Amino acid sequence: MQYFYRVIQYAFFCLLFVYGTDAYADSTIKGKVLDEKGVALFNVNVRIDGTALGASSRSDGTFIISSVPAGTYTVQASHIRFEPVKAEVTVMENEEKEIVLQFQRERDLSLDEITVTATRSELRTEEVPQPVAQISADEVERRYRYNVGEMLDLVPGVRIVRAGGTIGADYGLSIRSLNGGPSSDKTLVLVDGRPINDGWSGGLDFNMLPSEIVDRVEIVKGSSSALYGSQATAGVINVITRKPELGWHAWASVAREFNNAKEISDKQADGFGRPDVSATNFQFNGSFANEETSHLFTVGYRQSDQPCRVEMIGHDRCKVIFKQPQRAITPGQSVVFYDGEICLGGGIIESKYNQN
């Protein structure tokens, strides 16, 4: 029994000695991490090999490793851009050792060549599984509407709802009565292949898409979730904008809407909103393109007392294209100008209401 107690005492004193040694080991290794040009590096992993001690460099490249027992260690710095760098460090008790770790060579991060092959086949419209409709460039020009929302309201099976019925509010969109309220989270709307639906409600601001910058609109009536996800349960609408021509261009359009409201009572007009006496639309558009980039911009103004359903049978339009050089002037090279163009047109717009 006495032998057993002696063993316990011996073990206790050994543990006390080890604990006391660690407790008073207050040495520190600190320093700075630099790249091959001497620039400080942030968030570099610095550790002491064979231990759990380490730190990350700060924004100025400095690091501090505390509570290091006395001894000789290998300190290693690693970064994804560089080959690891090591330094041999000897630390005495209660010593503050300072070192500099500088990377010398960047890693080769190039990957093996990857080949991606995609196949696509052409299908006639009648061969597509879902019904497909299109508003062509000719229709956009002939059946003038203020924005894309008003153009889509002419497509069978597509319904546009303005949230709250007020000018400037977001539009709701439904295809075949799916999602017919002010939300459009079941119909995906793309502009040149990129989604524009509001991330929260799915609503759309078609006022940002005036008809003057639209080339054509493609409508897929039917689920396209396999390709676009759950937001395309009802269908997909892709708005293709005009392709700017080389040089600077500008054009404007003016439309005036007249509604015959004298013989329509408020009760008969109910469901369509109180009919407008008149409305004025104005759009100023411009584009610029060269061999490297292209831009399309538009500024619009619309004045209307109340929203209503309008059938447009004509419009007034003014189109102006300024002369601009096709390419920059260089010595010994002639300058090619686009022809200036001014187009004027006229017509009227009439509202029709059911009086049943």
- pLDDT tens for 51-107 read 999 999 999 999 999 999 999 999 999 998 899 999 999 999 889 999 999 998 888
What tens digit of pLDDT does each residue of 278-306 get?
A: 566 666 777 777 777 767 666 766 665 54
For the residues of 87-154, what is the DSSP string, one character each?
EEEEE-TT-EEEEEEE---B---PPPP-----------GGGSSS-EEEE-HHHHHHS--SBHHHHHTT
**Rounded Cα gap, residues 219 and 86, in angstroms:** 62
* Domain residue limits, the chain: 2-102, 126-241, 247-350
| Dihedral sign computed on CA atoms, order 222, 225, 230, 236 | negative
Within 10 Å of residue 9's Cβ, how many Cβ atoms? 10
**Rounded Cα gap, residues 59 and 284, in angstroms:** 49
What's 126-241's CATH class?
Answer: mainly beta
CATH of 2-102, one of 3.20.20.70, 2.60.40.10, 3.90.1150.10, 3.40.50.2000: 2.60.40.10
Model confidence, pTM: 0.43
Q: Is there a common fold for 2-102 and 126-241? A: no
What tens digit of pLDDT does each residue of 150-204 get?
A: 778 778 888 777 655 444 455 677 777 766 555 566 788 888 878 877 655 556 6
Length of the chain measured in residues: 356
Within 10 Å of residue 19's Cβ, how many Cβ atoms? 10
